[in-house]
Amino acid sequence: MFSKMILFVVVTCWIGIVAAVDDDKDEIESLGVFEGENLTIAIHIKKSDKDPQVLVTRLGSSPEPIAQLICHNEDRSLKYWESGVSLIYDGENVTLILMNVSYNQTGLYKVCKLSDSPLENKIYNVTVYQAPLSTISSSVMYSESFPAGITSAILVLIILVLITGAIGVFYWKRSKVTSYKVSQNDDTAASSLRGSLTVIDI
């Protein structure tokens, strides 16, 4: 009875140690992507692994499988639990693609290479950023299309044209008012001359 208890304690401790070691082996890599873009993750496969087995899960309160690659005697099969997910295997690498990602896809993703010995896991901390405003993107596109020197030169030219136009309008209005006053004075002088003339009959 006592020996069984010792064996139980030893086995329990061994399982706990193995689980802790496996958690330490999980590498964590941070990735960032904007909403609406595609997120690509390359998963390297050993050359000696002729029939790779890859499982991708999303971690949370309960892990949710997303995609799986199963190879057997060089026959490949793919399984998907979510739309907008793609796995591509070219014989050396498995490429995971999350297409048109949304903000709610932010989280931890675990890639398990089940055929590796020892088992290899990697965790990706994915952050999906909200897409920038269209006004910001359009201004960025405009600034990228034209070098800074050209845009500043165009701005200065526009300002000069506006100032020149304003000065021209000002002087045009002033000259118009002056000519009107001159013509009005001429009419007054002419009428006064007509009033002062005396007609003499011979």
DSSP the chain: -HHHHHHHHHHHHHHHHHHHHHHHH-EEEEEEEETTS-EEEEEE--TT-SS-EEEEEE-SSS-EEEEEEEEETTEEEEEESSTTEEEEE-SSEEEEEE-S--GGG-EEEEEEETTSSS-EEEEEEEEEEPPPPHHHHHHHHHHHHS-HHHHHHHHHHHHHHHHHHHHHHHHHHHHHHHHHHHHHHHHHHHHHHHHH------
Residues 148-160: tens digit of each pLDDT: 566 677 888 888 8
Confirm if 41 and 96 have CB atoms less than 8 A apart.
Answer: yes
Q: Are residues 122 and 168 in the same domain?
A: no
To the question of pTM greater than 0.85 for the whole model, the response is no
Task: Tell me the per-residue pLDDT of 46-94, one tens digit each, with 9 for 90 and over.
Answer: 877 788 889 999 998 888 999 999 988 878 889 999 899 999 988 778 9
> Residue 164 falls within a domain, yes or no?
yes
Q: Which of 65, 98, 131 is the last residue of a domain?
A: 131
Residue 189 lies in a domain: no
Asked if the structure places residue 145 within a domain, the reply is yes
Question: Does residue 143 share a domain with residue 80?
Answer: no
Domain identity same for 170 and 116: no
Determine, yes or no, domain membership for 167. yes
Same domain, 87 and 157: no
Q: Are residues 44 and 107 in the same domain?
A: yes
Residue 145 has pLDDT above 80, yes or no: no
125 and 139 inside one domain: no
Domain assignment of residue 144, given as a range: 135-180
Same domain flag for 120 and 171: no
Q: Does residue 100 have a pLDDT over 90? A: yes
Residues 88 and 168 in one domain: no
Q: Are residues 172 and 78 in the same domain?
A: no
Domain count, the chain: 2
> Are residues 102 and 164 located together in one domain of the fold?
no
